[in-house]
């Protein structure tokens, strides 16, 4: 059985939980609080030298970090990953988009507003984070105005990766009212079998 | 034949060129200068709504953005991608590491020093970028002290992805003298058949 080292309120960790639940896979969950130094201990750094959750411990004892690499690994050979080469490339396109153009703005704005004290100087970052995050949401809106899912004809790990921080984007001050196709897609994701909530 | 929309001096675009050359694949290259607005035109945004190079036009006319998704697509079924599920996951682990924990520091520091005027206020970002970039290099060093390549027993797209901005990290003020195993790996990558230089 695999073990997830994760933090329940982290969207990146939630991706892994949602995929495991939807695949009906058995797993252990070990809660690691990155806000209290849990990812900087020697024991944790031996699991992932980059000091981040989630990290998946495989059945052979080795560790796999990076939420979207974990999603791809779990989904290979299942309906959560397109069967064709072009479809897999599309899934990866959106998963790299998520980590480069979406998460660093939408998740970081949420982190500042949800985890840091109201007086933190990091609030000065919010206007730029919100501008860039709304740009990412606009790119998603343009795609979702034409297609129901991000990769191929079915719900996939690309949707899981983008759902994780999009569905709670309001926590970071984002206005999802500007992107109705994104809102409709969030409802479709939430209606998938075995869906579980963040947390 | 595929067409690469890319900028020759961009490490992200160089990844695609290096993979295509090493695979012996025929391709067109269309130079797009993102520093002069080439990625913000209506024509370019129709190819990639996220407005970034590289973007690969496939033979069916569709477009695939995201450098590491392109690498994975090109490498499927070739010696540049591990054949086993765990190996593919390792390749993706390092490719997501590259886009989240490496490129936003090492490539951005290079951009500020190479493309912006000496008086740019963005030079204030350099200490943080260099701190985080050196952390990424330290994570690479730890891996390369034990293993010759990033994913599996052979050179792969994970090495291409990380080579692109590591080999020119000095442009961003990074000191590769601190990481001798990274230096030895750079030499191994450069010695691979059909290697081509950035630019």
Tell me if B100 sits within 8 A of A99, measured CB to CB: yes
pLDDT of residue B80: 98
Round to whole Å and give the CA distance between A72 and A68.
6
User: Hey, is the C-beta of A100 within 8 angstroms of any chain B C-beta?
Assistant: yes
Kindly report, residue by residue over A84-108, the tens digit of the pLDDT. 999 999 999 999 999 999 999 999 9
Contacts of A132 in chain B (CB under 8 A): none
Interface pTM, i.e. ipTM: 0.98
Q: Which of A94, A99, A143 to mutate to test the interface with B (most CBs of B within 10 A)?
A: A99
Q: Is the pTM of this model over 0.90?
A: yes
Could you read off the pLDDT of A43-94 as tens digits, one per residue? 999 999 999 999 999 999 999 999 999 999 999 999 999 999 999 999 999 9
Q: Give the gap in angstroms from C-alpha A161 to the nearest C-alpha of chain B.
A: 13
CATH 3.40.50.300 fits A85-190, yes or no: no
CATH topology of domain B2-75: Glutaredoxin (3.40.30)
Q: What is the pLDDT of residues A114-149, one digit of tens each?
A: 999 999 999 999 999 999 999 999 999 999 999 999
CA-to-CA distance for B51 and A145, rounded, in angstroms?
18
Which residue spans of chain A are classified as CATH 1.20.1050.10?
Answer: 85-190
The dihedrals phi and psi of B177, each to the nearest 5 degrees, come to: -65, -20
Contacts of B44 in chain A (CB under 8 A): none
The shortest CB-CB distance from B66 to any of A67, A70, A97 is to A97
Verify whether the Cβ–Cβ distance B96 to A93 is below 8 Å.
no
pLDDT in tens, B87-141: 999 999 999 999 999 999 999 999 999 999 999 999 999 999 999 999 999 999 9
pLDDT at res. A33: 96
Handedness of CA A114, A117, A118, A120 (dihedral sign): negative
Residue A145 touches chain B, beta carbons under 8 Å? no
- The answer to whether A130 and A168 have CB atoms below 8 angstroms apart is no
Contact B96 A69 (CB under 8 A): yes
Q: Which helix (H) or strand (E) holds A129?
A: helix A126-144
- In contact, B75 and B19? CB cutoff 8 Å: yes
């Amino acid at each position: 059985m695999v073990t997830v080292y994760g933090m329940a309120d982290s969207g990146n960790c939630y991706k892994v939980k949602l995929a495991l639940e939807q695949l009906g896979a058995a797993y252990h969950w070990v809660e690691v609080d990155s806000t209290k130094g849990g990812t900087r201990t020697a024991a944790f750094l031996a699991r992932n030298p980059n000091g981040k959750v989630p990290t998946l411990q495989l059945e052979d004892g080795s560790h796999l970090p990076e939420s979207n690499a974990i999603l791809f690994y779990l989904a290979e050979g299942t309906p959560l990953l397109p069967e064709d080469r072009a479809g897999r490339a599309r899934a990866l396109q959106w998963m790299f988009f998520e980590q480069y153009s979406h998460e660093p703005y939408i998740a970081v704005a949420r982190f500042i507003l949800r985890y840091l004290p109201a007086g933190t100087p990091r609030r000065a970052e919010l206007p730029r984070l919100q501008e860039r995050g709304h740009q990412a949401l606009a790119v998603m809106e343009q795609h979702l105005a034409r297609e129901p899912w991000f990769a191929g004809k079915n719900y996939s790990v690309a949707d899981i990766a983008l759902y994780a921080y999009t569905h709670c984007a309001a926590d970071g001050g984002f206005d999802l009212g500007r992107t109705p196709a994104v809102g409709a897609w969030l409802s479709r994701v939430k209606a998938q079998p075995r869906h579980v909530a963040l947390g």
